[in-house]
A and B are shown apart, each in its own frame.
Chain A
Amino acid sequence: MSENNVMAEPFIKVENLSKFFELNRKQTLKAVNDISFEIYKGETVGLVGESGCGKSTTGRCLVNLYEPTSGKIYYKGKDTSQFTKQEKQAFTGDVQMIFQNPYSSLNPRMTVKEIVAQGMKYHGNYSKTEIDCRIEQLLEKVGLGVEHMSRFAHEFSGGQRQRIGIARALSVNPEFIVCDEPISALDVSIQAQVINMLKKLQHDMGLTYLFIAHDLSVVKYISDRVIVMYLGTIVEEAPVEELYKNPAHPYTKVLLSAIPVANPIKAKANKRIKVSGEIPSPINSKPGCQFAERCPYAVDHCFNEAPPRKEISKDHFVACHVY
């Protein structure tokens, strides 16, 4: 989809976004450190990385759940930090989020109807009957029925709860949805149901997604472009086919080779690129390439100098001194 939009204005543009959390006077947690990327209308951008890499923080900054420490986010060409009150209200309806944990992201004291109606009451001038009618349509769209309307969240399975979360996100007619690991808490057979539904909704409603995940195989399936993050920085960004065919950054290669393959012959033959150690703490992070410590190809200046972002082929960006 991005090919059609080469000349178009990006739908969302993130410029030098940083989000730091000050833990105390001496310690700063640099959750997201100077990242820039663009999202075009109608596409799905996959954001991949391991826990603590800042992918969820990025997603939360995009929907204005966090105030960025520095950097700008442009929505349809407008700086989100300069929004007027009205613009801000419209923006919170245009962008929505689907949360990771369907068990904790639904209010246990509210019925499904109340959960889904909440956003509509705030954002639209809907009458009571209109709201009822819309909820019915929304529930049907996500594969639930009218009979579920007056039930509470605990009466549903994980997959059904995630459907409620999706109905809630859709209730205000958003254009852009941040999906923060929407399927990682679900069973395998249910994961496919939810993914297929997200794909269908995107097709029917022209939605734009930022799909956050740690599972590279799911991201491959749903995304047009993929961004790989490591410790608060973007290490690689490429169209999906390109990234999986020619991964450039050592970390991307490690991630790809670490995925367990569901084929015993291939899995046992698979030569993994091994990395030792674990992700270092993002508190008071060191200068230089963040991956250098674990990187099998690291040379001296990897530890001192942060690698610049380079375009190694069309739309394929990598931040690594090797290139």
Chain B
Amino acid sequence: MSEKILELNNVVFSFKTYAGLVHAVRGVSFEVRKGEILGIVGESGCGKSVTAQSILRLNPEPPGFFEGGEILFKGQDIIKMNNKQLRNIRGKDIGFIFQDPMTSLNPTMRVGEQIEEVFIGTGTPKAEVRLKALNIMRLVGINDPERRFMQYPHELSGGMKQRIMIAIALVSRPSLIICDEPTTSLDVTIEAQILDLLLELREKLGTSIIMITHDLGVIARLCDRVVVMYGGKVAEQGTSEDIFFDTAHPYTSGLLKSIARLDMERNQVLTPIEGTPPDLFAPPKGCPFAARCEYAMSVCCEYEPSKTTLTEEHSTYCWLQHDLAPEVNLIVEKREA
């Protein structure tokens, strides 16, 4: 097992609002190792973006605040850092790629300058900064970087803008990049190009990547390990083969059943997960998925399931793993085609 570069231990993050506390992240623990791609998958409102943004303390604080836990990056707790320490990490040691390239770039600045911005205050000579920016643009597959450098975001297509975002995240050669649904707003052929690019960059630079997505297809293509989140908690985590082929949480198996896939018969009925995600103002007492779970037992609504370790990598939070629970087949995807 290669070394850990990031470790989240029981992180609890909430927002204060007029309507009360929103318990967005309720005790999440996972780790990111050197050179791996970790996927975080879940639906909107499951806390995946808040978790990712809390790693860089990008959530507005206040109204947001940490109720507990620790985020260890190279041994230092990010939650305890002051602004100056955070500045040294943001964009330098950890890069962030946002979901919507159309709105996350500054429309009044040339894209090249936005890449160079990362080096402000580091004392790097101007010529060197320019060279680094042009090199990184070439690396992320932008042809004719000298011309592109001078353009404004509105002159670029969506895929090109996302490449600029990746260039900004990469230019200081961070050891970790957090991608928050980087391909959601892109077309499929462009999405495929960007995913290939991320894989290639990992090969070349050995960067660790956290990939946040709701698309299981993206997870399958890209990720080494996966964290499935639901209702502000981790539901299941393991290697991507564990998640797809040895599914051990009803939510994961529900997700797998509800997606339309190409190899499916036409008259086959999609099995949706009925109901809606839990209200995080008043999270349910027991397992957050209990209300929508077809296998829910009375214990599920009363007590939170504890972590069950299945293999060294694979763990799940589900009462079905208990010795007294009935035997249920959760596996959707067969390993052999």
Spell out A's residues near B (CB within 8 Å).
50-51, 157-160, 187-193, 195-196, 214-218, 220-221, 240-241, 244, 254-256, 258-268, 270, 272, 274-275, 278-279
Contact (Cβ within 8 A) B192 A262: no
Contact (Cβ within 8 A) A50 B189: yes
Contact (Cβ within 8 A) A191 B258: yes
Q: How far does the Cβ of A210 sit from chain B's closest Cβ, in whole Å?
A: 18
| Assembled-state Cα–Cα distance A220/B218 (Å) | 19
Max chain B Cβ within 10 angstroms of own Cβ: one of A157, A221, A261 = A221
Q: How far does the Cβ of B257 sit from chain A's closest Cβ, in whole Å?
A: 8
Is B159 close to A, CB under 8 A?
A: yes
> Given A218-B260, A220-B266, list of 15 further CB < 8 A pairs?
A187-B214, A188-B214, A188-B258, A191-B260, A192-B260, A192-B270, A195-B260, A196-B269, A214-B188, A260-B191, A260-B218, A263-B337, A266-B220, A278-B157, A278-B160
Contact (Cβ within 8 A) B216 A262: yes
When each residue 154-194 of chain B gets 1 if its CB lies under 8 Å from chain A and 0 otherwise, what string results? 00011110000000000000000000000000011111110
Q: A189-B273, A195-B270, A221-B260 are in contact. Are A50 and B220 (CB under 8 A)?
A: no
A251 closest partner in B (C-beta)? B189
Is B272 close to A, CB under 8 A?
A: yes
| Assembled-state Cα–Cα distance A116/B276 (Å) | 23
Contact (Cβ within 8 A) B261 A262: yes
| Assembled-state Cα–Cα distance A216/B191 (Å) | 14
A269 closest partner in B (C-beta)? B337
Is B128 close to A, CB under 8 A?
A: no
Is B195 close to A, CB under 8 A?
A: yes
Contact (Cβ within 8 A) B266 A221: yes
A276 closest partner in B (C-beta)? B193
Contact (Cβ within 8 A) A268 B221: yes
Contact (Cβ within 8 A) B266 A189: no
Pairs across A and B, CB under 8 Å, 8 listed? A189-B272, A216-B262, A217-B260, A255-B188, A261-B217, A262-B217, A265-B241, A274-B192
Max chain B Cβ within 10 angstroms of own Cβ: one of A160, A259, A263, A265 = A263
Contact (Cβ within 8 A) A258 B191: yes
Q: A188-B214, A263-B244, A278-B157 are in contact. Are A220 and B187 (CB under 8 A)?
A: no
Contact (Cβ within 8 A) A244 B262: yes
| Assembled-state Cα–Cα distance A220/B160 (Å) | 29
Which residues in B have their C-beta under 8 angstroms from that of A51?
158, 187
Contact (Cβ within 8 A) B272 A190: yes
Is B240 close to A, CB under 8 A?
A: yes
A50 closest partner in B (C-beta)? B187
Contact (Cβ within 8 A) A192 B333: no
Is B271 close to A, CB under 8 A?
A: yes
Which residues in B have their C-beta under 8 angstroms from that of A275?
189
> Can you list the 6 inter-chain pairs with the closest CB atoms, starting with the nearest?
A260-B217, A192-B272, A50-B187, A189-B273, A192-B258, A192-B270
Contact (Cβ within 8 A) B189 A262: no
Is B256 close to A, CB under 8 A?
A: yes
Which residues in B have their C-beta under 8 angstroms from that of A278?
157, 159-160, 189-190
Which residues in B have their C-beta under 8 angstroms from that of A254?
189
Q: Which of A160, A192, A272 contacts B271 (CB 8 A)?
A: A192
| Assembled-state Cα–Cα distance A195/B214 (Å) | 18
Q: Which of A159, A240, A262 contacts B333 (CB 8 A)?
A: A262
Q: A157-B276, A278-B160, A278-B190 are in contact. Are A220 and B262 (CB under 8 A)?
A: yes
Which residues in A have their C-beta under 8 angstroms from that of B44?
158, 187
Q: Which of B195, B240, B271 contacts A264 (CB 8 A)?
A: B240
| Assembled-state Cα–Cα distance A158/B43 (Å) | 12
Which residues in A have their C-beta under 8 angstroms from that of B261?
217, 261-262
Which residues in A have their C-beta under 8 angstroms from that of B195?
260
Contact (Cβ within 8 A) A261 B192: no
B223-270 contacts to A, CB under 8 A, are: 223, 240-241, 244, 254-256, 258-262, 264, 266, 268-270
